[in-house]
């Protein structure tokens, strides 16, 4: 799998994910909005962790330097 999430894109996803997770848990909002915030937070955090985003792949966006799997 070609990695396509890196740099500021990855950092932004982590920040958005953490903020939305906090909103989902602590904000005094309706349950439906908590669920929406939680789902979006999970998507943002997972795509940041695995460094691959299917939407980026479809749109041809690659913010990962080199665009290849990192060597171990």
Residue 51's SS3 state is coil
Give the residue among 45, 48, 51 at the shortest CA–CA distance from 70. 51
* 5-48 pLDDT, tens digit each: 999 999 999 999 999 999 999 999 999 999 999 999 999 999 99
Query: What's this model's pTM, rounded to 2 decimal places?
Result: 0.86
Q: Which helix (H) or strand (E) holds 44?
A: helix 31-50
Q: Is residue 37 part of a domain?
A: yes
Q: What range does the domain containing 53 cover?
A: 7-59
For the chain, the domain total comes to 1
CA–CA dist 27, 1 (Å, integer): 37
In a domain? residue 46: yes
Mean pLDDT over residues 54-58, rounded? 94
Q: Evaluate whether residue 17 is within a structural domain.
A: yes
């Amino acid at each position: 799998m070609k990695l396509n999430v890196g740099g500021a894109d990855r950092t932004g996803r982590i920040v958005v994910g953490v903020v939305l997770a906090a909103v989902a848990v602590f904000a005094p909002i309706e349950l439906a909005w908590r669920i929406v915030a939680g789902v979006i937070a999970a998507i943002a955090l997972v795509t940041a962790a695995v460094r691959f985003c299917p939407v980026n792949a479809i749109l041809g966006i690659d913010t990962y330097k080199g665009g290849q799997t990192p060597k171990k």
